[in-house]
Amino acid sequence: MNASPEFSRRYRLDRLGAGTVSEDIVADADECAALARRFGLISVDRLQARCTLRREGGTVFLDGHLTARAQQRCVATDAPVPAEIDEDFAIRFVPAATPEEEEIELDADSCDTIFYQGGAVDLGEAAAETLALSLDPFPRSAQADEVLHDAGVLSEEEAGPFGALAGLRDKLAKKSSD
């Protein structure tokens, strides 16, 4: 069972001719709230994208620009961390192979490829997935370093080889002053 995406903007391919077509999509308040739940965010306050589509045979190319505003939870304090997304993206929609068709080989340049079935591609889901990929995976509030330090978590500087040497230097300096 496939659940319907929270932010679906299906674009029918029979509307796409030989040239390019531009579409603007905007998530409403309910869609933003549903996306926040899906991605574990405090909120998605705004999500919109400008999409330009072109077709080459069965492949549809989407060049877009995403703008969004969201609130994430700090990994250390759980405090809100604002996220502003202003990013270009490119996606290639490729028809899903049927069992009797040849499989499509993907290379490293094909990482932004989405398979579709039927006569439409979902611009909203493409924008939602771009949002998820654009978010900081480890958001930190201004108090995060202090909270982590108080919990005994070492910073990169303290944990690295030079941090260990600095600790040794401090111990030797203290020993020589005694």
Alpha-carbon gap, residue 6 to 4, rounded angstroms: 6
Please tell me the number of Cα atoms within 13 Å of 81 on its side-chain side: 20
Closest CA to 123 of 13, 1, 3: 13
pTM for the model: 0.77
pLDDT at 42: 97
- Residue 140's pLDDT band (boundaries 50, 70, 90)? confident
- Please provide the average confidence, as pLDDT, over all residues in the chain: 84
Candidate from 35-49, 82-96, 109-123 with smallest mean pLDDT: 109-123
Q: Which residue has the higher pLDDT, 121 or 145?
A: 121
Tokens in use for 20? Answer: 């390019």
* 38 and 82 part of one domain: yes
pLDDT tens-digit series, residues 22-48: 999 999 999 999 999 999 999 999 999
Q: In terms of residue numbers, what domain contains 157? A: 143-178
* Residue 5 DSSP one-character state: P
- Based on the domain organization, do 60 and 16 belong to the same domain? yes
On whether both 108 and 86 belong to a single domain, the answer is yes
